[in-house]
Amino acid sequence: MNPYKITEQTFISFSGGRTSAYMLYRVLEANNGLPDDTHVCFANTGKEEEATLQFVDRCSKEWSVPIIWLEYQVEDPGWRIVTFETASRNGEPFEALIRKKNYLPNPVTRFCTVDLKIKPLAKYARHLGWDEWDNLIGIRADEPRRVAKIRANPSDGMKGVTRHMPLATDGISKADVSKFWAAQPFDLQLPNINGVTFHGNCDLCFLKGAHQILSLIAEKPERATWWAKQEGAITNPSISQGGYFHKDRPSYAQMLNFATRQINMFDTSEETLACFCGD
């Protein structure tokens, strides 16, 4: 069976990266457009690069597909609908979540993806009256650990939700995705380095390697401002790792200082951890 063919109520999670956009294209191709009872959702944290927001908007217009822009909010119903023009661009949804919890997400407690992306989408689906639905996510075949984790727990503990990975089922790799975009009339305007978009997702996500973060700060120092502010504002440091995004490396303020002084003490081979925000 064509893994991109939709037969049930479905939400397509669009991260705003090349991989999830490629998945969306293949779904539209297999179904002659967006099927009834199918929605495409982009959950904006406010920390994506402007190029990502432009890419989401461009995909919607080029492919004539409606994309729902969701943002987390503290107040009920826990989400709000925005547009390309009104979407947060200074980390407002992410900061609101941090203020509510009074501690920071970190490699041990990665609540940001769940609270900023997964839960708002689920709450929106239930707002529509849906009790059960399929959730398509852009995980490739060359991401075996992520594939195995999702296949072992397709609902992720959420009643009525079944996650599917059509790209993994189809054997799609990052090389396939890169080849596709090389042939398109438009593309995500962020560097594609051997099939990896280091600038993607939250700009200085703490799951990125320290050397990578330092490079991104050196390229654009103001990227570190928001992250340093969050680390300096936590008033509940008694919680394990609570005052830092990553307790085993320098703070973002320190890394900003290193970058401006052109100091690099980090292992260039440090692996970036997989983030379920997607590619």
Looking at residue 82, which CATH number applies to its domain? 3.40.50.620
Residue 272 lies in a domain: no
Query: Which residue bears the tokens 């503990």?
Result: 157
Same domain as 220, residue 118: no
Same domain as 220, residue 95: no
Look up the pTM and report it.
0.92
Residue 265 lies in a domain: no
Q: What is the pLDDT of residues 216-270, one digit of tens each?
A: 999 999 999 999 999 988 877 666 556 889 988 899 999 999 888 776 655 455 5
Domain count within the chain? 2
Residue 74 lies in a domain: yes
Strand order across the 161-164 sheet = 79-82, 67-72, 38-43, 10-13, 133-136, 161-164
Q: What is the pLDDT of residues 117-164, one digit of tens each?
A: 999 999 999 999 999 999 999 999 999 999 999 999 999 889 999 999
Contacts of 55 (CB under 8 A, 6+ apart): 16, 21, 187, 188, 189
Same domain as 222, residue 112: no
pLDDT at 13 over 60: yes
Q: How far apart are CA 199 and CA 152, in angstroms?
A: 29
Same domain as 221, residue 155: no
Predicted confidence at residue 271, as pLDDT, reads 55
pLDDT at 276 over 70: no
pLDDT at 206 over 60: yes
Same domain as 177, residue 40: yes
Q: How confident is the model at residue 95 (pLDDT cuts 50, 70, 90)?
A: very high
Same domain as 253, residue 150: no
Angle in degrees, 0-180, between the axes of helices 50-62 and 18-30, rounded to the nearest 10: 10
Compute the average pLDDT of residues 171-195: 95
Residue 160 lies in a domain: yes
Residue 75 lies in a domain: yes
215, 267 in Cβ contact below 8 A?
no
Same domain as 224, residue 165: no
Q: How far apart are CA 224 and CA 173, in angstroms?
A: 32
Predicted confidence at residue 263, as pLDDT, reads 60
Same domain as 81, residue 158: yes
**Residue 86 corresponds to which tokens in the numbers above?**
């009104």
Same domain as 162, residue 101: yes
Q: Which residue has the higher pLDDT, 182 or 194?
A: 182
Q: How far apart are CA 252 and CA 107, in angstroms?
A: 15
Give the CA count within 13 Å in the CB-facing half-sphere of 79.
23
Predicted confidence at residue 264, as pLDDT, reads 63
Same domain as 224, residue 178: no
Residue 195 lies in a domain: no
Angle in degrees, 0-180, between the axes of helices 223-233 and 210-219, rounded to the nearest 10: 120
Residue 191 lies in a domain: no
Its domain, for residue 221, covers 210-260
DSSP character string of 160-219: TEEEE-HHHHTT--HHHHHHHHHTSS---SS--BTTB-TT-SBTT-TTS-HHHHHHHHHH
Same domain as 246, residue 165: no
